[in-house]
Amino acid sequence: MAIAYIEALTYLNQRARVDRRDGLAVRQATVDRYAAGVSVSLEELTLMLREFAAEREWEPFHTPKNLAMAVSGEAGELAAELQWSTPEESNELDAAARERVADEMADVLHYLVRMADVLDIDLIAAAMDKLARNRERFPVGEPETRRARPRR
């Protein structure tokens, strides 16, 4: 088990991109790693979602426009889960509500990651760049920043 796990890890680490022929092996290795308690990287998730779409011949439908609409639709489903909650209730979700929220968050993430893949956008780099800009925009300790609602 340990050797198979290390082999799977090595196999994944050696590959930046995977062609369709090898997709199944990578997917199984990723699933095995996840089952063993090792976190899955964004790149691995990207590859798995690419494979999922390819197997079902959904690529023609995965245009940036359609994927943006799908992100928006799933974000709406996420919001709907909390729509009538009080702020306090939304802070204390029961197990069933938490599961529904997690499910919709997964939908949002899947479409967002898929859209980044289709557009060849490095989602982590984009997020890091945006965070750096937000740090400049909202300096720590500034009276305008402290306890203020974010502005557009």
Tell me which residues touch Mg ion (CB under 5 A): 74, 77, 104, 107
- In eight-state DSSP terms, residue 16 is S
Number of Cα atoms under 13 Å in the Cβ half of residue 83: 7
CB 143, min distance to Mg ion, A: 41
Nearer to Mg ion, 74 or 117 (CB): 74
Q: If 0-12 CB within 10 Å is exposed, 13-18 middle and 19+ buried, where does residue 93 land?
A: middle
CB 43, min distance to Mg ion, A: 24
Q: Report the residue number whose CB is nearest to Mg ion.
A: 107
Nearer to Mg ion, 70 or 116 (CB): 70
Nearer to Mg ion, 32 or 77 (CB): 77
For residues 33 and 10, is the Cβ–Cβ distance under 8 A? no
Picking from 32, 22, 31, the residue whose alpha carbon sits closest to that of residue 54 is 22
CB 144, min distance to Mg ion, A: 37
Nearer to Mg ion, 106 or 121 (CB): 106
